[in-house]
């Protein structure tokens, strides 16, 4: 249930957007594509069944502390460990920075 882990304004946005599908009790096992995300492999946590589905995006609700250690080093992170998305994503991704940027 989304209300146990998300604020109401985020729940409203998810429910409003027809492009978002919420799949409770699923893990992301794998994903890929040619230069962009095109598919995901998902595992049902209740029975272990896996499905592969088309995907044009993946929303990660990480909270105040990023728990992104499971992502490969090919996924761009900021120096705090949060996943970079949109315009923040570098064209040539490199491993996450290990220290804060100079100010």
Per-residue pLDDT reduced to its tens digit, 18-64 = 988 888 899 999 999 998 899 999 999 999 999 999 998 887 766 66
What is the model's pTM?
A: 0.56
| In the predicted structure, residue 103 carries a pLDDT above the cut 60 | no
> Are 64 and 90 within one domain?
yes
Q: Give the chain's domain count.
A: 2
- Which residue range is the domain that position 38 belongs to? 24-58
> Are 75 and 95 within one domain?
yes
Q: Rounded to whole angstroms, how far apart are CA atoms 37 and 7?
A: 27
Q: How confident is the model at residue 78 (pLDDT cuts 50, 70, 90)?
A: confident
> Are 54 and 73 within one domain?
no
Would you say residue 5 lies in a domain? no
Stated as kind and residue range, the H or E segment containing 43 is strand 39-44
Return left, alpha or beta for 35; rule: phi > 0 is left, psi -120 to 50 is alpha, else beta.
left
Q: Rounded to whole angstroms, how far apart are CA atoms 65 and 80?
A: 9
Strands 50-54 and 39-44: antiparallel
> Are 37 and 67 within one domain?
no
Q: What is the pLDDT of residue 94?
A: 47
Token digits for 3? 């209300």
């Amino acid at each position: 249930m989304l209300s146990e882990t998300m604020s109401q304004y985020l729940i409203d946005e998810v429910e409003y957007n027809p492009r978002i599908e919420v799949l409770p009790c699923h893990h992301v096992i794998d994903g890929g594509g040619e230069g962009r995300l095109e598919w995901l492999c998902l595992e049902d946590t209740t029975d272990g069944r896996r499905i592969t589905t088309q995907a044009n995006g993946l929303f990660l609700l990480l909270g105040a502390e990023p728990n992104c250690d499971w992502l490969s080093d090919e996924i761009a992170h900021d120096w705090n460990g949060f996943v970079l998305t949109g315009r923040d994503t570098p064209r040539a991704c490199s491993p996450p920075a290990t220290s804060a940027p100079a100010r």
